[in-house]
Amino acid sequence: DSGVTQTPKHLITATGQRVTLRCSPRSGDLSVYWYQQSLDQGLQFLIQYYNGEERAKGNILERFSAQQFPDLHSELNLSSLELGDSALYFCASSRVLGEKLFFGSGTQLSVL
């Protein structure tokens, strides 16, 4: 158990819908990262937060947004969902920037 909690584990929804994925980092970890893993693209970095502030952005679509709350949990919001958004979404956390990452078990999103 990495100590990083992601909910839900599975999510099935329809095109055009909006979903929210939640991540609770390990106790004491200030940095939260979001990644997308799809069959054709592999793992891709989406966005990173550190102590509530956005620190780095990767290949995140405009339809996607994220935030980190004062209690350090983070949410990834995906809207106007398309079939191609179906993927495994991972959250990871680290104590500070540049330290070892601890991954959650992922949220499997299926857009039908």
Partner 1 sequence: KNEVEQSPQNLTAQEGEFITINCSYSVGISALHWLQQHPGGGIVSLFMLSSGKKKHGRLIATINIQEKHSSLHITASHPRDSAVYICAVILLSGAQKLVFGQGTRLTINP
Of the residues 19, 21, 23, 35, which one makes contact with partner 1 according to CB under 8 A: 35
- The region of 12-20, 21-29, 65-73, 86-94 touching partner 1 under the rule CB under 8 A is 86-94
105 makes contact with partner 1 (CB under 8 A): yes
Nearest residue to 74 via CA among 28, 17, 18, 34:
34
35 versus 111: smaller Cβ distance to partner 1: 35
Give the three-state DSSP class for 85: helix
Q: How far apart are CA 68 and CA 48, in angstroms?
A: 9
3 makes contact with partner 1 (CB under 8 A): no
What is the residue whose two structure tokens read 């966005």? 47
CB 93 within 8 A of CB 102: yes
- The region of 13-21, 48-56, 64-72, 76-84 touching partner 1 under the rule CB under 8 A is 48-56
Q: How far apart are CA 84 and CA 48, in angstroms?
A: 22
Of the residues 26, 90, 109, 111, which one makes contact with partner 1 according to CB under 8 A: 90
